[in-house]
């Protein structure tokens, strides 16, 4: 896939295997504390998951995009699940060292602009744990509506309280 989105500070492009070790190293326990997924137990598990995402992306079902600085430093990832659905679900994470610099908003804004340009979606789903204030704040920077909350226990036993947002196109 040749999709490449550029912003003032970022390049956002499809995941490629050359980013596997960065993804694995930075997708830590702290990063996933308030997310459904857990860190990968090993590099092979990361490879299997991301290879599956790459197949889903080729099939047109999702986007698995890496967020890079202009210099090419790996900063994190944006996912868009359910591209064939009425309202795709958005996900984003940044490595610890990249948090708090506005990269999350810049990356999500750019991906939303790309998706909105397809003229296919009226809104998107975004979920954030209520204890993750930066993630909640990110949703509220867009034209959005907070919906229901969902209590959820993951397969690994994490207890999450997810605030569901609709972010409008």
pLDDT of 1 above 80: no
- CA dist., res. 36 & res. 60, Å (int): 23
Residue whose token pair is 């998951």 = 49
- CA dist., res. 82 & res. 126, Å (int): 12
* pLDDT grade for 2, boundaries at 50, 70 and 90: confident
- CA dist., res. 53 & res. 162, Å (int): 23
pLDDT (average), residues 96-101 = 96
Taking the domains of the chain in order of start, what are their residue ranges? 5-121
Tell me the CATH architecture of domain 5-121. 3-Layer(aba) Sandwich (3.40)
Q: Encode pLDDT of 32-89 as tens digits.
A: 999 999 999 999 999 999 999 999 999 999 999 999 999 999 999 999 999 999 999 9
Nearest to 80 by CA among 103, 101, 110, 102: 110
* pLDDT grade for 143, boundaries at 50, 70 and 90: very high
pLDDT (average), residues 11-36 = 96
Instruction: Give, rounded to a whole angstrom, the gap between the first and last alpha carbons of the chain.
Output: 23
Tell me, what's the pLDDT at 59?
96
Q: Can you read off the two tokens belonging to residue 50?
A: 């991301």
Backbone angles phi, psi at 48, to 5 degrees: -65, -45
Q: Encode pLDDT of 105-139 as tens digits.
A: 999 999 999 999 999 999 999 999 999 999 999 99
Helical axes 103-116 vs 133-140, angle rounded to 10°: 40
Three-class SS state of 51: helix
pTM: predicted TM-score of the whole model, two decimal places: 0.95
What is the radius of gyration, based on Cα positions, of the chain? 15
Nearest to 63 by CA among 37, 89, 45, 38: 89
């Amino acid at each position: 896939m040749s999709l490449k989105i550029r912003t003032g500070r970022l390049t956002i492009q499809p995941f490629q295997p050359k980013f596997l070790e960065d993804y694995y190293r930075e997708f830590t326990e702290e990063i996933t504390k308030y997310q459904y997924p857990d860190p990968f137990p090993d590099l092979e598990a990361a490879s299997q998951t991301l290879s599956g995402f790459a197949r889903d992306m080729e099939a047109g079902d999702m986007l698995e995009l890496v967020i890079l600085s202009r210099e090419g430093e790996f900063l994190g990832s944006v996912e868009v699940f359910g591209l064939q659905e009425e309202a795709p679900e958005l996900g984003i994470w940044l490595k610890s060292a990249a948090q708090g610099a506005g990269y999350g908003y810049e990356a999500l804004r750019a991906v939303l602009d790309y998706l909105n340009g397809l003229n296919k979606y009226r809104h998107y789903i975004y979920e954030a744990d209520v204890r993750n204030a930066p993630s909640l704040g990110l949703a509220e920077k867009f034209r959005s509506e907070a919906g229901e909350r969902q209590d959820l226990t993951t397969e690994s036993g994490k207890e999450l309280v997810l605030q569901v947002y609709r972010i409008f196109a």
